[in-house]
Structure 1
Amino acid sequence: MSNRREVLLDAAVRVLGGRGMRALTHRAVDAEAAVPVGSTANYFPNRESLLGAIVERISARERANFEEIARTVSPTTPAELARVLGAAARDAAGVHRELTLARYAILVEAGHNAAIRRRVAENGSRVDAWFAVWLRLIGSHDPGHLHLVANYLTGLILHQLAVPDPAFDPTAMIAGFLESLVAAVGTHESETAGRTI
C-alpha cells in the first residue's frame, strides 16, 4: 500500500499530466487524491517543494517501468533495441500517457527554473546508464549517441502525444536511426584504421 506522500504525489502527477502546469495547485492535488484540504500543503509547504517532489516521483516511476523492461531484455543488434524502444515509446504515449505528459510539463518548467533544472539533470543521469549499456551492446561506443537517441525518442513521443496516430509504431524508424549510428561508427573506425597503416 502506498504511503500518504506517494498518494499525494501520484495525484499531483495526474493533475499535471491531465490538466497542465497551471492547474497544479495544492487544492487541486487534495481534490484529486480525495484527502482533506490542506493535506498536500502539510507535506509540501510551497510550490517549489511540490514541484521538486514531483520530479523525484516521475523519475522513480519511469525508472521502475524502464527497469521492468531491462530485466527481461538484452538487445545486441539495432533491430532488437529498436523493438524494445518502440514498445517503450508506445507505452509512454499510451498506458503511461499522463506520466509522460507530466514529465514534459516539468521539462518546460525546467527551462526557466534553475532548481528544477538541476533535479531533472540529476534524475536523468540514472536512466541514461541503461541506454549507454544498450548502445554499447549494439556496437555504438560514441557517448554522444546516448543524447541523440534520447532526443530522437523524446521527439517521436512528443509528436504522438500532440498529434495522436492510432497506428503509432516507431519501431522501423528507430531501427533505421540506430543502424545509421552504428554504421557511422564502423565507417569512422575503418577510416581511422586505414590512416594508421
Structure 2
Amino acid sequence: MARNPERRTALLDAAIEVLADEGARGLTFRAVDARAGVPTGTSSNYFTDRDQLLSQVGERIFVRLTPDAASVDTALRPEPSRELVAELMRWTARRMVAERTCYLGLFELRLEATRRPELRDRLTTVLRADLDENTRLHLAAGMPGDAETVRLLYLALTGLFLDHLTVPGLHAERELDELIDTVVTRIVPTDRPPLTASGG
C-alpha cells in the first residue's frame, strides 16, 4: 500500500505530543490516531510495531530540533568570543522553549531507552553525531576552548534544560539566561590565553 509521507510526518508529530503529555507508556497506536485526528488503525498502516514508532519518533524529534544551516551560519558570523558562546547557548534555549514538546519527548525517549537496547543504541548514535557536529562547528569557528569545553557545555546545559522543563521552580530566583551565562563563564576559557611568566 502506498503511504503518504505528509501523513506519516503528521502521525509522528502527534506521537511526539502523546509522548510528551502521557509518557512512553501512553504511546499507543490508538492514542496517536486520536491525537492526529485520523481513523483508528491509521498508525498501524505506517509503522509495523511500537518499536519502529519509537525509533522514528526519535528521528523526527531531531529533525525538528536541528536548526537550518542558514540560521547556524548567521549565528556564527560575529567574532568568536566567550560572549558569543553564551549568546549561542541562549539561542539554543529559545529554540528549546519553542519546541518544548520535542524536548519533553526526547527526555521520555531517553528513559524508555533504558529498557529498550535497540532504542538506546539508536539514540546514542544520533546524540553522538549531534555532539560531534557541535564540536566541529565550535572548533571551526575559532571559539574559545576545545572539544572538552563543548562536552562540558553539553553536560551542563542538558541538566539545566531538564530542570527548566520539569522542575522550573527549582531555580525560580534565577532567570534561564542568567544561569546560562554562569555556566558559560565557568566552563569556557577567556578569549585569550594567559601570558607566560616571560610575557611571551
SS of aligned partner of 2:75: coil
- Structure 1 residue 44 corresponds to structure 2 residue 47: yes
- Deviation readout 1:134-184 (Å, 9 max, x if unpaired): 53222212x233221112111111111112368874333333333333438
- Deviation readout 1:65-124 (Å, 9 max, x if unpaired): 3646413211511111211212322331x2211111001100111122210111112222
Q: Is residue 16–residue 105 contact of structure 1 (8 Å, CA) maintained in 2?
A: yes
Q: Is residue 83–residue 171 contact of structure 1 (8 Å, CA) maintained in 2?
A: no
Q: How does 1:33-182 map to 2 (within 5 A)?
A: 33-63=36-66, 65=67, 67=69, 69-74=71-76, 76-92=80-96, 94-136=97-139, 137-141=142-146, 143-164=147-168, 169-182=175-188
Aligned-partner Cα distance in 1 for 2:121–2:20: 21
TM-score after normalising by structure 2:
0.81
Aligned-partner Cα distance in 2 for 1:172–1:134: 24
Aligned-partner Cα distance in 1 for 2:26–2:16: 11
Aligned-partner Cα distance in 2 for 1:148–1:18: 30
Instruction: Give 1:16 deviation, angstroms.
Output: 0.5
Q: Is residue 160–residue 168 contact of structure 1 (8 Å, CA) maintained in 2?
A: no
What's the RMSD between the two structures over aligned residues?
Answer: 3.0
Aligned-partner Cα distance in 2 for 1:134–1:180: 21
In structure 1, what residue type is equivalent to 2:165? L
Report which stretch shifted further, 53-62 or 123-132.
123-132
> Which of these residues, 183, 188, 192, is aligned with residue 189 of structure 2?
183
Aligned-partner Cα distance in 1 for 2:173–2:43: 39
Q: Percent of aligned positions with the same letter in both sequences?
A: 29
Query: Structure 1 residues 25 and 90, CA, compared in 2 at 3 Å: closer, same or farther?
Result: same
- Say how many residue pairs are matched: 190
**1:30 alignment counterpart:** 33
> Which of these residues, 3, 8, 26, is aligned with residue 6 of structure 2?
3
Q: Is residue 139–residue 182 contact of structure 1 (8 Å, CA) maintained in 2?
A: yes
Query: Structure 1 residues 66 and 125, CA, compared in 2 at 3 Å: closer, same or farther?
Result: farther
Unaligned runs of 5+ in 2: none
